[in-house]
Chains A and B, each alone.
Chain A
Amino acid sequence: MIRWFRRPRDLSCQQVAELLQTYLDAEVEDGTAQRVSVHLGDCQHCGVEYQVYEEIKRTLVRRARTPVDPSVLQALRRFCDDLSRQDPPAAERPW
C-alpha cells in the first residue's frame, strides 16, 4: 500500500529530532519509542543522525571503562573496615 499522506501515528523528522537523544537513552515511553524506531527505519536522514549520536554515546561509554585506581578502592575498603571495627571518630571530621 502506497502511503501518500503521513498517517496521524507517523512522526515527522522534526519530532524525531527532538526525541532522538531521549530515545537513545531509553528514556522515551514504549509507544513513542516504537514510533521513533519505525521512522528511523524509514528515513535515511534521521537514521544517519541517530547513528552519529549512537556512536558518540558509545565512545563516551568506552571512555568510562578506564579502571579506577585500585589503591583508592583499597583505601576506601580500609576506611570501611575501620568504621566497622570502632565507633567513627566523629569529632575529627571537619564537617
Chain B
Amino acid sequence: MLAMVNQEVDSAARFDQYVVPELEVLYRVARSLNRNDADAEDLVQETLLRAYRAIDRFDGRYPRAWLLTILRNANINRARKKQDQLLDDPDATFDRTEAPPGQSSQPEDLVVEPVFDDVVEDAYRALPVPFRQVVDLVDLNGLAYAEAADLLDIPVGTVMSRLHRARKRIREHLAANGVSGRSAA
C-alpha cells in the first residue's frame, strides 16, 4: 500500500517536473492545429491525460518532443472520430481560394502607403488553412520542418512546399500593394 502511494507521489512529481512547464507550448501548438480555442483546450487536456498515464514509462529525455508526439496522436484520433476535413487531401482544394486583394483598402488608403505589417497580416489571414497551419507551426511556434511534419503527419516535403508557397503569396501580396521594404513606422 505504501509502495503504491509512493508511486503515485512519484508520478505526480514527474508530471510536475516534465509536463507542466510545457503547458504554454502545448496550447500554442494546439491552437495552430485547431480552428477555435475550445477545441485547442480540449486537445491539450486529452494530451495531458495521456501523458499522465504514460509518465512512468517516460525516460525523462526531451519532454517537449515526447509531449508533442502524444499531442499529435491525440489530434489524429480526434480528427478520425470527428471525421474532420483534415482527412481529405487539402492540397487539392486550396488553390481555389485566391487571396482577395487588399480587402481593407478604401480609396483614401491608397494615398497613404500601406504599412508592411498590416499587409503581411492581411495576406496571412487570407491563407488557406493548410498553409496557415504550417506557417503557425514553423514561424509562430518555432518548430523545425521535421517536427511540423511529424505533428501534421505529412511528409517534410509537403511542409516545405506549403510554407514556401504561403510566404510567396505574402510576398506577392506585398508587391501587389506597392510595399517593397519595410516602411518607417
- Chain A positions within 8 Å of B, measured between CB atoms, are 21-22, 25, 27, 51-53, 55-57, 59-64, 68-69, 72-73, 75-77, 79-80, 83-85, 88, 90, 93, 95
Contact = CB atoms under 8 A, between A and B. Distances in A.
Interface of B: 11-12, 15-16, 19-20, 23-24, 27-28, 37, 41, 44-46, 48-49, 52-53, 77-78, 81, 116-117, 120-121, 124, 135, 138-142, 144-145, 160, 163-164, 167, 170-171, 174, 180-182
Contacts of A22: 160, 164
Given A52-B174, A52-B180, A68-B24, A95 B140 contact: no
A55 B181 contact: yes
B120 A60 contact: yes
Contacts of A51: 181
B135 A60 contact: yes
A69 to B, nearest CB: 8
Contacts of A79: 45, 48
Nearest to B118: A59
A56 B182 CA distance: 9
Contacts of B23: 73, 76-77, 80
Contacts of A62: 117
A72 B41 contact: yes
A84 B12 contact: yes
B27 A76 contact: yes
A63 B123 CA distance: 13
Contacts, number: 96
Given A22-B160, A52-B181, A61-B140, A77 B120 contact: no
Contacts of A25: 138, 145, 163
A57 B139 contact: yes
B117 A59 contact: yes
A75 B140 CA distance: 23
Contacts of A75: 41
B140 A60 contact: yes
A22, A55, A69, A84 — which one has the most chain B CB atoms within 10 A of its CB? Answer: A84
A67 B9 CA distance: 32
A53 B171 contact: yes
